Structure 1
């Protein structure tokens, strides 16, 4: 009887071990399925991160290119390119000239003369212009200051050397046109020489502008 009980006890013990194994197997299968699902979730997140990183790199590269382009146009950086060089000097005074007369006024380069010339150059392919080392931008002032022309707060004496980088296919026909500002100034006695350049360098003469008073519009 003891042996029978013992046999039952042994049998029960074996069946209990099998039950544990089945339960363990089912538990492991559930854990594997859960890990598979978790792995898929992480793979999805990783792919999203990769796409965002690629998008960020593309956006960053685009912004860097835009910043560099704007810096060149705004005069923050040295630039190179093809274009023309205009050298302008006041005309020679005649022996019969009366100081302060119209004849005297016409042979001298004034700020309005420079402004008209710059406008025409911009209309005919100029991308950036430098006058005596000063880059001309939308914030540049140009006005007479005695015998000088003031640009970017700098008093510049004649002769005025204009380096113009831009589209030669448009600039070249312009400088040979007999009805432009260049021809008008030459007719007044102002001396102008023109030189075509396949490549030249313009200085970075403008300090970066950090707006203090501009505010974003909140709609």
Structure 2
């Protein structure tokens, strides 16, 4: 009887072990399938992102080529008389104001560097946000800035700024700006007025700017690239008098 009882006990134990091994194998198979599915999804997302980047680059290249072609047409027209030449000058001036041409001139360059203690337990409160960048742009505009760029992305009347991905980066003109890396802001205008605005008490410490090491320098020659996007106007219309 003892022998039979021992054999039954061993059989039950073996059965339980077999069940546990089978169950564990099924779990591992599900995890493997899940990982494979996630890898596939990640691969698909990566491919789609690369395709979108290529499409964006192609559109920007096409836009630049069209602008160059239009410039050639305008230059050929201006050879016909002073009136055409004046119209061409007005068009060039308008493009410059809209941000469609590279510009240069005197102004200031601001360097926003993350402070060493930026990544503390209260990181969400300390990271720079789109509101902080918009505040600086507004201060520079109020001081008479004629052209502004954030990380060489031209600021125009249609520039939007938005924090994203849990404050990991800021969208500026559909370009990512990381608040955990150096941010450079260029502004062309009267150097004295711009620097006075930056030196005003509280300007460079407002909001989360106070958690960063911010310096600036005045320069006699600053280059700001053109706005490489296309203006979208679907709803505004000129008023016919």
User: What's the TM-score once normalised by structure 2's chain length?
Assistant: 0.58
How far apart, in 2, do the equivalents of 1:154 and 1:112 lie?
Answer: 16
**Pair 1:115 & 2:137 matched:** no
Which of 125, 148, 151 aligns to 2:169? It is 148
Report how far residue 62 of structure 1 moved: 2.8
Query: Which one has a bigger Cα radius of gyration?
Result: 1
User: Does the residue aligned with 1:188 lie in a helix, a strand or coil?
Assistant: helix
Backbone CA RMSD of aligned residues? 2.5
Structure 2 counterparts to residues 29-108 of structure 1, below 5 A: 57-93=81-117, 97-98=120-121, 101=122, 104-108=123-127
Report how far residue 128 of structure 1 moved: 0.7
Query: How big is each residue's C-alpha offset from its partner over 1:155-196, in whole Å with a ceiling of 9 and x where there is no partner?
Result: 12232110110111311212222232x133587321212011
Report how far residue 124 of structure 1 moved: 0.5
Match of 1:173 in 2: 196
Q: Higher relative CO (CA 8 A, sep ≥ 6), structure 1 or 2?
A: 1
Cα 1:164/1:211, change in 2 over 3 Å: same
How far apart, in 1, do the equivalents of 2:193 and 2:226 lie?
Answer: 25
User: What's the TM-score once normalised by structure 1's chain length?
Assistant: 0.63
How far apart, in 1, do the equivalents of 2:191 and 2:106 lie?
Answer: 7
Query: How big is each residue's C-alpha offset from its partner over 1:14-68, in whole Å with a ceiling of 9 and x where there is no partner?
Result: xxxxxxxxxxxxxxxxxxxxxxxxxxxxxxxxxxxxxxxxxx9444233222211
How far apart, in 1, do the equivalents of 2:95 and 2:177 lie?
Answer: 24
Report how far residue 138 of structure 1 moved: 0.7
User: Does the residue aligned with 1:69 lie in a helix, a strand or coil?
Assistant: helix
Cα 1:218/1:186, change in 2 over 3 Å: closer
Structure 2: stretches of 5+ with no match in the other structure: 1-79
Structure 1: stretches of 5+ with no match in the other structure: 1-55
Report how far residue 78 of structure 1 moved: 0.7
Which of 213, 216, 223 aligns to 1:191? It is 213
How far apart, in 1, do the equivalents of 2:229 and 2:223 lie?
Answer: 18
Cα 1:162/1:193, change in 2 over 3 Å: same
User: Does the residue aligned with 1:149 lie in a helix, a strand or coil?
Assistant: strand
Report how far residue 143 of structure 1 moved: 1.0
